[in-house]
Amino acid sequence: MKIVNYFYSASMKGEESRQVLYLVGPVGAGKSSIVEALKRALEQSPPIYALKGCPMREEPLHLVPNHLRPEFEKLLKVQIEGDLCPICKYRLMNEYNGEYERFPVVTSNFSIRSRKGIGVVPPVDPNNQDTSVLTGSIDISKMDLYPEDDPRILSLNGAFNVGNRGIVEFIEVFKNDVEYLHTIITATQEKSIPSPGKGPMIYFDGIIIAHSNEAEWNKFKSDHTNEAILDRIVKIEVPYCLELNEEVKIYEKILKRAILRPI
């Protein structure tokens, strides 16, 4: 019910829409199973409209110029928030001469395996924390062809790029160094993430889900220098199952998956 309330408040642009959904509990309590259920539900949801060829599956309404947005918002009865990613902005100006009506729009579904709308960030070795896992990288092979600030050299394939308009999952989130988690701060409150290299900030609109065990949560919480991240977390406890009838359901689920053979 707490998870449902989180999504309900976030859907109405409440403060939860700018905070991380964080599941904490003992090992084996079902945190990962809850997140997997959410991702499977997203895969079964209807497709969304997106700009054709955009690595971040851009919201088509971002094409509308700022000076026309009040009219569109009144006409469509929606709030248009956010800007085009650098790649789509370049294509709009150079391929379509700024004529946003000509930019093709397609439908796009969600997929875990194809990394469509669902990004996953596993624990990273503290000695080798590469932020390209989060925000993409620069395609070195194209640097001989284009200037350093040209959007065409960007490879927006990080977890935040992939999970735009969907979900970004942080597995065992506090196993990473704090510096690695700073992207969460801007992604939540400012709804923007750094672009690779020296490019501008990129608009991000997605749900950030994190989970870890109690020991790591207590260790992270005890350090007062982590207040900026703690302030952006909605904590939901996932305790052990203590009811017999609920425990029976767990074993029934496991047995259904098992291939049973006579001894």
Q: 76 and 102 share a domain?
A: yes
Q: 89 and 195 share a domain?
A: no
Q: 104 and 196 share a domain?
A: no
Does a structural domain hold residue 121? yes
- Report residue 128's pLDDT band, with 50, 70 and 90 as the boundaries: low
Q: Tens digit of pLDDT for each residue in 91-117?
A: 999 999 999 999 999 999 999 999 899
Q: 176 and 239 share a domain?
A: yes
Helical segments of 136-263, H only: 159-162, 182-185, 214-221, 227-230, 244-257
Q: What's the one-letter identity of residue 224?
A: H
Last residue within a domain, chosen from 108, 139, 155: 108
Q: 85 and 131 share a domain?
A: no
| Percentage of residues in the chain having pLDDT higher than 70 | 98
Does a structural domain hold residue 208? yes
Q: 27 and 154 share a domain?
A: yes
Give the span between the Cα atoms of 164 and 193, in whole angstroms: 11
Domain containing 85: what range? 48-108
Does a structural domain hold residue 98? yes
234: domain CATH number is 3.40.50.300
Tell me the pLDDT of the chain averaged across its residues.
Answer: 89
What pLDDT was estimated at residue 99?
Answer: 93
Last residue within a domain, chosen from 108, 133, 148: 108
What pLDDT was estimated at residue 127?
Answer: 67
Of 110, 109, 108, the closest CA to residue 39 belongs to: 110
Q: Of 84-98, 172-186, 190-204, give the lowest mean pLDDT range.
A: 172-186
Q: How many residues does the chain have?
A: 263
B/e letters for 28-63, b = 16+ CB within 10 Å, e = fewer, are ebbbeebbeebbeebbeeeebebbeebbbbbbbbbb
Q: 64 and 156 share a domain?
A: no
Q: 25 and 97 share a domain?
A: no
pTM over 0.85: yes
Does a structural domain hold residue 262? no
Q: 84 and 154 share a domain?
A: no
Q: Tens digit of pLDDT for each residue in 40-55?
A: 999 999 999 999 999 9
- C-alpha 142: how far from its chain's center? 27
Q: 139 and 187 share a domain?
A: yes
Mean pLDDT within 186-215: 90
Does a structural domain hold residue 56? yes
For the beta carbon of residue 89, count every other beta carbon within 10 angstroms: 16
Query: What does each C-alpha distance from 72 to 75, 96, 229, 246 come to in angstroms?
Result: 5, 21, 35, 50
66 contacts: CB under 8 Å, gap ≥ 6: none
Give the span between the Cα atoms of 210 and 178, in whole angstroms: 14
H or E element that contains 112:
none
Does a structural domain hold residue 263? no
What pLDDT was estimated at residue 126?
Answer: 67
Q: Which two tokens stand for residue 199?
A: 């490019």
For the beta carbon of residue 240, count every other beta carbon within 10 angstroms: 11
Q: Which two tokens stand for residue 211?
A: 């989970």
Q: 38 and 104 share a domain?
A: no
Bridge partners (DSSP) listed for residue 193: 202
What pLDDT was estimated at residue 104?
Answer: 96
Does a structural domain hold residue 154? yes
Q: 240 and 183 share a domain?
A: yes
In the chain, the number of structural domains is 2
Q: Tens digit of pLDDT for each residue in 140-164?
A: 888 888 888 888 899 999 999 999 9
Mean pLDDT within 33-41: 92
